[in-house]
Amino acid sequence: MKTLVQTTQSAQETEVFASSFAQSLRGGEVLLLVGELGAGKTHFVKGLARGLGIEEEVTSPTFALHNEYVGRLKLNHFDFYRIENSEEVEMLGLDELFFDKTAVAAIEWSENVADLLPPRCITVQLDKLGDSTRRITVSQ
């Protein structure tokens, strides 16, 4: 995969980009969503969901840690912002979902579970360039 770089001017444009990107996903991908609070990680996942044919409203799993959605592929959305160490995730068995070949895993705050991640992941870096402007860099 080559590196994709896109600048968006709104949350809606971020979602449209992610929806288009989702068309290339076949299952088994692990997306590491990297960016500061408010960078647009959840908006990116909302777009992914739409691109995967998911009609359900996507919300951040900040307190639940994991939300699952079903469309053309399953989407496992994780938010590990509040995780102290990866053992918590392991005890809940959530790390097994990183290896589901019938799903796409989208992980916010993946650095908190780095030792549990599969070797080949796709990094989605979201950088705030202004109030609503974002640079999205997708690389493997």
- What domains sit in the chain, N to C, each tagged with a CATH number? 4-133 (3.40.50.300)
- The C-alpha atoms of residue 59 and residue 61 are separated, in whole angstroms, by 6
25-71 pLDDT, tens digit each: 999 999 999 999 989 999 999 999 999 999 999 988 877 899 999 99
Which run of H or E residues covers position 47?
A: helix 41-51
pTM: 0.94
Distance between CA atoms of 85 and 125, rounded to whole angstroms?
22
pLDDT score at 139: 95
Residue with tokens 């493997």: 140
